[in-house]
Structure 1
Amino acid sequence: MNRNLKTTLLFVLLLCLGTTVRAQDNVVDEVVWIVGDEAIMKSEVEEARLSALYQGRRFEADAYCVLPEEIAVQKLFLHQAELDSIEVPESQVIQEVDFQTNQYIANIGSREKMEEYFNKTSSEIRETLRENIRDGLRVQEMQRKLVENIKITPAEVRRYFQDLPPDSIPYVPTQVEVQIITQQPKVPIEEIEAVKTRLREFTDRINKGETSFSTLARMYSEDRASAISGGELPFYGRGQLDPAFANVAFNLQSPDKISKIVESEMGFHIIQLIEKRGDRIRVRHILLKPHVPDSALVAGMARLDSIADDIRNEKFKFEEAASVLSDDKDTRKNHGLLPNPRNNTSRFEMQDLPPEIAKVVDKMEVGEISKAFTMIPQSTGKEVCVIVKLKSRTNGHKATIAEDYQRLKNIVLEKRQAEVLDKWIREKQKTTYVRIKESWRHNCNFKYPGWIKE
């Protein structure tokens, strides 16, 4: 964009500091901030406020001071991201949009209530989310680039820890390591055939034009996250899907054809193609899960209790049983040790454990093996029988260099990163044109006072 055109646009924005009207709904809107060549509209701030209220956020200061400043800071990073040609994959954006939309619908109650809450149609909400999520991901990537070269030495960690007042030393909550053995209860053949028969009936009804795939997905699919949107999934690459599901989905050639029945870890599906885009695909599906009878759960727990007794009687070790007998593929190769995806270790704070496991482990001694119980893993949504062993427990304590070096290092790293980003924002303010409508800066105590230069 050339300098004359930028000047013209800026002049137009300045004129817009008066009041404008959105034609689509006759809602009075206005430009309240200008940051560089970008305007911050009153409606943009209001949408951010509604989203914050939805998330339960509380403001220590006036939201109409805090939120515009946060949006302004984001625009500084976005401008730099534009200069540095930073982009994010559209597939990641769409996946986040789908997830957030489904979260809104699930928490607010229905698609209609969501539209009423935000005073927008579903398509308008999705488009707003798409823009905001794309911007947010680009801001994150820009920030990551600005701090990627920061390194922390052991000497810096020790110095940070030594300089901390005793009452400021971080408290490390209790952490545990847990080993697990699971048994998948056997589902009767009759139940599996009943599920397949229902899916064949769905396919027949769709092919005869009696109803649509989306309608049946909303009514019957047991993947409730996608059922809300008619069974639609976001764009996925082959490697992001269950292999059996992916093989069938990627072989679909026409939206008019319904797939054969496919079994995945989640259950049984039929699939309909929506769109292919390069090496990514978007489909809708209907998932049905065979019902596990109580007798199968009782038998599964009895078998695990027998295995636990054999371990207690030293016939074999828990680690050996987990490697050979467990149905849990994620832990079987690691002697049953449960991995924590949040920190890439085997250590869990109690609130990070699956709730069924946390309740059992909370009362156990190190080395103890539990009685059998049932749980529903998030990864499959299918009920399994479980025994666990508490491998280790580190009680809550004040952090020490010897025991908690990595945690302290992360604290120092985050502190350094925050300082670098803070300095960058303050320097960027000096070279960026900013105009704030008088009524929107009155009595505002901004975090970064450099917005107001006069």
Structure 2
Amino acid sequence: MRKLFSIIGTVVLLASFASPAVSSFKENNSFVASSDTIITSEEGAPNVIDEVIWVVGDEPILKSDVEVMRIQGEAEGYKWKGNPDCAIPEQIAVQKLFLHQAGLDSIEVTESEVTQEVEDRINWMIQQTGSREKLEEYRGMSLTQIRQEMRDDLRNQILVQRMRQELVKDVSVTPADVRRYFQDLPQDSLPFVPTTVELQIITRQPRVEEEEVNRIKNQLREYTERVNNGETTFATLARLYSEDGSARAGGELGYTPRAALDPAFASVAFGLTDPKKISKIVETEFGYHIIQLVDKSGDRINVRHILLKPRISSEAVKAASERLDSLAQDIRDKKFTFDDATYVSDDKDTRMNRGLMAFYNRETGERTSRFRMQDLPTEIAREVEKLQVGEISAPFQMVNDKGKNVCAIIKLKARTESHRATIAEDFQILKGIVLNKRRDQVIHDWVVNKIKNTYVRMNERYRDCDFEYEGWVK
């Protein structure tokens, strides 16, 4: 059961990184489904393009679902327990059991929770690819379109997580339980704790010059005037000039709920009533937009937009870096402390905590100030390698968790070198290991019992698999 959720939880990234061909095919072809195959007709000749390999309850598992998860697992270096052809469909099936139970128990997820998870995941993806533009280029779609594609998968992930938490909410361990578990283990069997660091950070976002903002706004006013004069269409201008990934679709975003849009953008978009009129200029964290209504349907809206992003001058970047360099030197000269200096930081999340960075572990749901090196953004990890405890870095540029390019300095507050865990120094880590083992056993027992009362049908080739959970083969 270990890492079940973390692996299944990345299915949305499969859609985001690994399956553009699959998603594109499904969008552009009509399907006719039999009991075990999904086919499409091309010039009258049926072609099998997918296959129903399992049915759990009334939910099918497709061969393409398995391939998508396999690709993501390989990309992350995940080693499947046993034969991947058996382990992957089993994990998908287990997810369906959790989702079914979540429905029976009326476990709910709000739109705002899904939106927050989408934004967190988008920002993580931007950090991995290096920039918003690179992510859009890699995916071949705008951030708004990526958000729409992710929402249902992430909603399911949250439901699965909530269901698992509900099942193990009463599981606990005592200090005596922890000591009993580890007291008889040989030294070389104790868990290895990797190096962790605690960091403080101050960031400055390079200032956009007023002249550049005026240039952007004048350009958008010109586009509005050209459309109003009948010189061209909004969609044509979007294709030619918009800096959003939706440009290739004429700026059209598709039907989108309010919660999936930037609040300022949504406020103006949902206020539009006439498809022939163009909105006022809207500023969001992504840049400046003009919007045209396409259609409204219930609580969803379809609009076109043109996005222009202000250019950050090299002078502005230099000025932000020099400000941070001067600040760092004043701290080194003991004119004030790093804690005192964090009030100038543009990072609202860390500024309220004296610059202390926090890491959210998606697998455990816990938040901590201790980072493993692999959990740090690349630019920060590179600087940490140069520092001794108490030292402050030189200014550097990075992409923050909001996807923006910023200048930053960091202070290495603490470093704990890798070591074998001990009860005295690492009690919380060891307690977590024992607690997770107990939770895993509760989850395992629940899944086995759930399988007994669930209709399962699978392709004959899976009936000889060595599954983690007994009872799949009826």
TM-score, L = length of structure 2:
0.71
Report the equivalent of 1:392: 414
Q: Which residue of 2 aligns with 1:304?
A: 324
CA deviation string 1:91-122 (max 9, x = no partner): 7779989989999x9587647xxxxxxxxxx9
- 5+ unaligned residues in a row in structure 2: which ranges? 1-32, 130-134
Residue 401 in structure 1 maps to residue 423 in structure 2: yes
Q: Deviations over 1:327-363 (max 9, x none)?
A: 3322223222223344423222222222222211211
The answer on whether the counterparts of 1:87 and 1:138 sit within 8 Å (CA) in structure 2 is yes
Alignment of 1:21-420 (within 5 A): 22=39, 26-28=46-48, 33=54, 35-36=56-57, 38=58, 40=60, 44-53=62-71, 55-56=73-74, 59=80, 61-89=82-110, 110=140, 137-207=158-228, 216-217=237-238, 220-224=241-245, 230=251, 232=253, 234-237=256-259, 241=262, 244-245=264-265, 247-249=267-269, 251-272=271-292, 285-323=305-343, 325-342=344-361, 343-381=366-404, 383-420=405-442
Matches of 2:117 and 2:356, distance apart in 1: 31
Give the C-alpha shift of residue 379 in structure 1: 0.8
Distance in 2 of aligned mates of 1:211 and 1:160? 74
Letter in 2 for 1:349: R
In 1: Cα distance, 2:166 partner to 2:118 partner: 24
User: Does the Cα contact within 8 Å between 1:237 and 1:281 map onto a contact in 2?
Assistant: no
Unaligned stretches of 5+ in structure 1?
1-15, 112-121
1:179 partner SS? strand
Secondary structure of the residue that 1:375 maps to in structure 2? Answer: strand
- 2:467 match: secondary structure: coil
Deviations along 1:212-262, one digit per CA (max 9) or x if unpaired, are 6566556544455x6676463853439x845x5455445444555433223
Deviations, residues 9-28 of structure 1 (Å, cap 9, x unaligned)? xxxxxxx9986674657345
Contact 1:366 1:390 in 2 (8 A): yes
Residue identity in the other structure for 2:415:
R
1:190 Cα deviation after fit: 1.8
Q: CA deviation at 1:415?
A: 1.7
Of 362-371 and 165-174, deviating more is 165-174
Say what the alpha-carbon RMSD is for the aligned residues: 4.2
In percent, how many aligned pairs have the same letter? 51
| Other-structure match for 2:10 | none
| Structure 2 CA distance for aligned equivalents of residues 438 and 23 of structure 1 | 24
String of CA shifts for 1:401-441, please: whole Å, max 9, x gaps.
Answer: 34333333332232222111111122233344545454442
Larger radius of gyration: 1
Relative to structure 1, is the Cα distance of residues 313 and 422 closer, same or farther in structure 2, using a 3 angstrom cutoff?
same
Q: Deviations over 1:25-62 (max 9, x none)?
A: 734577654545x3646xx1343224422552665644
For 1:32 and 1:316, locate their aligned partners in 2 and report how far apart those are by CA, in whole Å.
65
Change (3 A) 1:249 1:173: farther
The 8 Å contact of residues 17 and 437 in structure 1, kept in 2 or not, is answered as: no
Q: Residues 277 and 418 of structure 1: is their aligned pair in 2 closer, same or farther, counting only changes over 3 Å? A: farther
Deviates more, 1:306-315 or 1:260-269: 260-269
Structure 2 CA distance for partners of 1:414 and 1:231, relative to 1, 3 Å: farther
Query: Contact 1:274/1:284 (CA < 8 Å) preserved in 2?
Result: yes
Please give the secondary structure, in 2, of the residue aligned with 1:401. coil
Task: Give the CA deviation at 1:311.
Answer: 1.8
Q: How high is the TM-score relative to the length of structure 1?
A: 0.74
Once the two structures are superposed, what CA deviation does each residue of 1:233-292 show, in whole Å capped at 9, x if it has no partner?
A: 853439x845x5455445444555433223334432334456778888776644333212
Question: How many residues matched?
Answer: 415
Residue-by-residue CA offset, 1:72-104 (whole Å, 9 max, x unaligned) = 43444344344334454577779989989999x
SS state at 2:74 partner: coil
Aligned residue identity for 1:320: D
Q: Would the alpha carbon gap of residues 436 and 207 (structure 1) be closer, same or farther in structure 2, given more than 3 Å must change?
A: same
CA distance in 1, matches of 2:59, 2:208: 60
C-alpha separation between the residues in 2 aligned to 1:282 and 1:130?
Answer: 17
**Partner Cα distance (2:157, 2:317) in 1:** 45
**CA 1:347–1:211 in 2, change beyond 3 Å: closer, same or farther?**
farther
| Contact 1:222-1:289 within 8 A present in 2 as well | yes
